[in-house]
């Protein structure tokens, strides 16, 4: 009797070991080839993220610098820059109306403290109660010390259109008197929620700290829950030249920021001109 012999097919242990070794060799070669490309991709992504964060932070600071009340910038240290931001401004009536119209237009001058004045130019952002009006600021101590500063009580239309665009009434606690020698007839509006803004670098982080009141002493201490503007700060420096005494009355602020990630670091420097004409 003949038996049908069935031959079994498959891999021997030696063949499996050879295949595993070959796969390991191929994988190692691929890893050596791909690892630099992967590292380069991750480095580019990290640099891009750091650059975006640093650029956003510096542009935010420069934006506040450019809209600051003239002569309000000051340095608490090389890592602490403080200023008084403005939300709008305009021109006030600086003399009485000598026509026979009644009632008379409201104006500001250097002869007396007054509580009502007419605005001759339109607002982009109309002041609201609690906002501050600043006139003729000549140095940081004045505006940070509430000199030539008064708070808005209400804003409305003047009795006649010929008197101006709007009429501002100040709170009874304090009026305004134009500083001696100031003839610019300009005022700035400071929002009540941001009577001052400080940028402070501390413990590897950059903060933007807004205060609702004025202070003669620079605010360089970071309070709890302060808004974070950038993290991973490896170096931070603020430089400010007020250029006092120059005829152009223009200052210059230089902002330097270095951010460091896991493998990469990015350094950016941004300069901003400061208009110090009150």
Question: Quick one: tokens of 35?
Answer: 């690892």
Helix, coil or strand: residue 58: helix
pLDDT less than 50: residues of the chain:
1-2
What DSSP line would sit under 16-51, residue for residue?
A: HHHHHHHHHHHHHHHHHHHHHHHHHHHHHHHHHHHH
Global pTM value? 0.82
Q: How much is the pLDDT for 44?
A: 79
Q: How much is the pLDDT for 8?
A: 56
Contacts of 127 (CB under 8 A, 6+ apart): 87, 88, 133, 152, 155, 168, 189
Q: How much is the pLDDT for 1?
A: 44
Q: How much is the pLDDT for 273?
A: 87
Q: How much is the pLDDT for 251?
A: 87
Q: How much is the pLDDT for 245?
A: 53
Rounded to 5, what percent of the chain is helix, strand, coil?
Answer: 25, 35, 45
């Amino acid at each position: 009797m003949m038996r049908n012999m069935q031959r079994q097919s498959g891999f021997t242990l030696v063949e499996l070991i050879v295949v595993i070794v070959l796969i390991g060799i191929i994988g190692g070669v691929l890893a050596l080839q791909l690892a630099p490309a992967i590292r380069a991709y991750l480095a580019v992504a990290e640099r891009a993220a750091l650059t975006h964060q640093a650029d956003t932070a510096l542009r935010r600071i420069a934006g506040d610098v450019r809209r600051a009340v003239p002569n309000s910038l000051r340095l608490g240290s090389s890592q602490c820059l403080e200023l008084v931001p403005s939300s709008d401004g305009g021109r006030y009536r600086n003399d009485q109306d000598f026509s026979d119209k009644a009632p008379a237009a409201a104006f500001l001058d250097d002869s007396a403290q007054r509580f009502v004045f007419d605005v001759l130019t339109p607002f982009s952002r109309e002041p609201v109660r609690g906002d501050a009006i600043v006139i003729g600021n000549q140095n940081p101590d004045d505006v940070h010390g509430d000199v030539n500063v008064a708070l808005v009580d209400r804003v409305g239309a003047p009795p006649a259109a010929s008197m101006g665009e709007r009429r501002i009434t100040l709170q009874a606690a304090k009026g305004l008197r134009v500083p001696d020698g100031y003839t610019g007839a300009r005022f700035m509006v400071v929002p009540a929620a941001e009577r001052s803004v400080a940028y402070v670098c501390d413990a590897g982080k950059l903060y933007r700290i807004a205060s609702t009141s004025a202070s003669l002493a620079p605010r360089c201490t970071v309070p709890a829950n302060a808004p974070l503007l950038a993290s991973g700060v490896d170096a931070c420096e603020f430089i400010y030249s007020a250029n006092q005494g120059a005829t152009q009355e223009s200052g210059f602020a230089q902002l330097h920021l270095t951010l460091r990630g896991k493998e990469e670091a990015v350094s950016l420097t941004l300069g901003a001109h400061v208009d110090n004409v009150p």
